[in-house]
Amino acid sequence: AQRVTQPEKLLSVFKGAPVELKCNYSYSGSPELFWYVQYSRQRLQLLLRHISRESIKGFTADLNKGETSFHLKKPFAQEEDSAMYYCALKGRGTDKLIFGTGTRLQVFP
């Protein structure tokens, strides 16, 4: 079964601390993985995708096929990073996204 698991509902850190939002997936094959973010009063938007292998707003995520994980990391959290983060999976040959339940990141000053 295709599934995305985000084990933490809430992650609270202080400004300047490292952040890691966990994402594990279940998929038989090679999926595409994404991180979407929703800031307060804004719509859901794409943060990054694993095939791009890029850093957006200081965030990176590496696909670990052995551990079936796609954790989102940032070395120094900023207050403006406070938001809801969703990990999502797209299977080969399909367009639909399978989302995790999301992790709320709170960055305190």
Partner 1 sequence: DSGVTQTPKHLITATGQRVTLRCSPRSGDLSVYWYQQSLDQGLQFLIQYYNGEERAKGNILERFSAQQFPDLHSELNLSSLELGDSALYFCASSVGGGTGRVGEQFFGPGTRLTVL
The site string for partner 1 over 29-48 (x = CB under 8 A, - otherwise) reads -------x------xxxx--
Phi-psi region of 29 (alpha: psi -120 to 50; beta: other; left: phi over 0): left
Of the candidates 39, 54, 94, 108, which one interacts with partner 1 according to CB under 8 A? 94
Considering the rule CB under 8 A, would residue 66 count as an interface residue with partner 1?
A: no
Tell which one of 96, 105, 106, 108 touches partner 1 (CB under 8 A).
96
Distance, CA of 50 to CA of 16 (rounded, Å): 25
Q: Which of 82, 68, 74, 78 is nearest to 33 (CA)?
A: 68
Distances from the Cα of 11 to the Cαs of 2, 30, 32, 66, 104, in angstroms? 25, 29, 25, 25, 6
Supply the minimum distance, in Å, between the C-beta of residue 76 and partner 1: 27
- Rounded CA-CA distance 55/34 in Å is 13
Among 61, 98, 105, 107, contact with partner 1 (rule: CB under 8 A) = 98
CB of 33 to partner 1, least distance (A): 14
Q: Which residues would be at the binding site for partner 1 (CB under 8 A)?
A: 4, 6, 36, 43-46, 49, 86, 90-102
